[in-house]
């Protein structure tokens, strides 16, 4: 076995590297090239990058394509740019806009990994005769003793991206490799410098890539102009407190920007897209105990439909650590349900919910799903 757990010599092993133009994926290409693998770099053009060509903090823009090409030249590997704009618009941008209009809080990076990078790009890598597709994600893949591969949190907890990769299927994991899963970020930058890569000090991407000015509301309003309706801001007790220009400007848990003079701190508790209402209330109304999931991807050993109170840990936001919970299958509704050991604030439909075997720093990823519905702590207790 070589270092990628494949039964070939490195020089006989073709690896396609998804090169975004950032330091992480460029270092992956450099590491594999140094080990003697047959490396091919591919960069995806995902959207019309004209407005974001020189903007810092976004991935897959025009400057990033240039940086990926330059990194490939430095490393001496072939590099191709593939036009995936139509696929990306249909699978990610349109779905993102529709989700927000329906009062949800989607994370488009999850759908991009699921529908574009790990489906369409993976198929392209196979067409090129690749034995594996490698990416610069900070997550660890390990061979299972009985065959197949499992997914784990990365060594560097500050960089761990497992939350965005819970939807990776078992079949995809067999073909994917994540060389940075056992490296801290500072070591990645040191390696970039040793490879002579111009992106060694390039800032990490942080924004949603297809939002040029950092305001997703403007993008949604442009894509779905007829769907943005003004409406009321109402209290949980039924009082009308004010007006708003569209629910797309609000997210569950939001406090700032409500422009309400009530004398008490209020938070967005839920969004009612059918009636164009923003429902607000006190912070304690945000506490969630039960989360119902849709589009569940399961990587555990036991069948999902057989679970009834399995101890797990879950993460409902990328900036939060996994919380202890129990997982069960609701046969009546044909969906997975998570019951949190302690209530969580600001949980919104449309967000991803990643499921782990435990709350440890190197926990195995068991899958996850899209949050379909949440139940408040007091209702769940009753």
Catalytic residues: 112, 209
Sort strands 176-177 and 267-272 into parallel, antiparallel or unpaired.
unpaired
Closest CA to 166 of 295, 43, 305: 295
Rg of the chain, C-alpha, whole Å: 22
Report how far residue 43's alpha carbon sits from residue 62's, in angstroms, rounded to the nearest whole number: 11
What own/partner pairs with CB < 8 Å and gap ≥ 24 does 278-281 have? 278/231, 278/232, 278/233, 278/234, 278/244, 278/247, 278/250, 279/234, 279/235, 279/236, 280/233, 280/234, 280/235, 280/236, 280/241, 281/235, 281/236
- The H or E element containing residue 378 is helix 377-381
Report how far residue 169's alpha carbon sits from residue 172's, in angstroms, rounded to the nearest whole number: 5
CA angle 120, 125, 131 (to 5 degrees): 135
How far is the first Cα of the chain from the last one, in angstroms, to the nearest whole number?
A: 55
Q: Which residues contact 30 (CB under 8 A, 6 or more apart)?
A: 71, 75, 191, 192, 195, 197
Sort strands 308-315 and 79-83 into parallel, antiparallel or unpaired.
unpaired
Output the six-digit token pair for 78. Answer: 């072939």
Cβ neighbours around 275 below 10 Å, total: 12
Q: Which residues contact 94 (CB under 8 A, 6 or more apart)?
A: 223
What phi and psi values does residue 171 have, to the nearest 5 degrees? -65, -40
């Amino acid at each position: 076995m070589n270092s990628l757990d494949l039964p070939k010599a490195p020089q006989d092993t073709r690896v396609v590297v998804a090169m975004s133009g950032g330091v992480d994926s460029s270092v992956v290409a450099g590491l594999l090239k140094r080990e003697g693998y047959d490396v091919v770099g591919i960069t995806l053009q995902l959207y019309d990058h004209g407005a974001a060509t020189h903007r810092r903090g976004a991935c897959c823009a025009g400057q990033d394509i240039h940086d990926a090409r330059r990194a490939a030249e430095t490393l001496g590997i072939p590099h191709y740019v593939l036009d995936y704009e139509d696929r990306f618009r249909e699978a990610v941008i349109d779905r993102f806009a529709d989700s927000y209009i329906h009062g949800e809080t989607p994370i488009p990076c999850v759908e991009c990994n699921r529908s574009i990078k790990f489906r369409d790009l993976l198929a392209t890598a196979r067409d090129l005769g690749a034995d594996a597709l490698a990416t610069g994600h900070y997550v660890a893949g390990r061979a299972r003793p009985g065959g197949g591969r499992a997914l784990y949190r990365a060594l560097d907890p500050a960089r761990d991206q497992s939350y965005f990769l819970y939807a990776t299927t078992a079949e995809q994991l067999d073909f994917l490799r994540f060389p940075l899963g056992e490296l801290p970020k500072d070591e990645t930058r040191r390696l970039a410098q040793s490879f002579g890569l111009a992106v060694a000090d390039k800032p990490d991407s942080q924004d949603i890539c297809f939002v040029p000015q950092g305001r997703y509301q403007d993008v949604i309003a442009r894509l779905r102009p007829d769907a943005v309706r003004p409406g009321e801001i109402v209290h949980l007790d039924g009082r009308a407190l004010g007006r708003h220009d569209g629910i797309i400007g609000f997210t569950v848990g939001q406090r700032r920007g409500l422009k309400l003079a009530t004398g008490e701190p209020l938070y967005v508790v839920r969004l009612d897209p059918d009636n164009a209402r923003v429902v607000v209330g006190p912070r304690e109304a945000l506490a969630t105990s039960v989360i119902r999931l849709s589009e569940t991807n399961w990587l555990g050993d036991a069948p999902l439909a057989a679970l009834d109170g399995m101890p797990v840990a879950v993460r409902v936001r990328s900036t939060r650590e996994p919380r202890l919970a129990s997982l069960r299958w609701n046969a009546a509704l044909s969906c997975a349900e998570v019951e949190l050991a302690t209530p969580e604030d600001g949980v919104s439909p449309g967000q991803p919910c990643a499921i782990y075997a435990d709350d440890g720093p190197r926990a195995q990823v068991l899958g996850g799903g899209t949050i379909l519905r949440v139940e408040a702590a007091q209702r769940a207790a009753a």
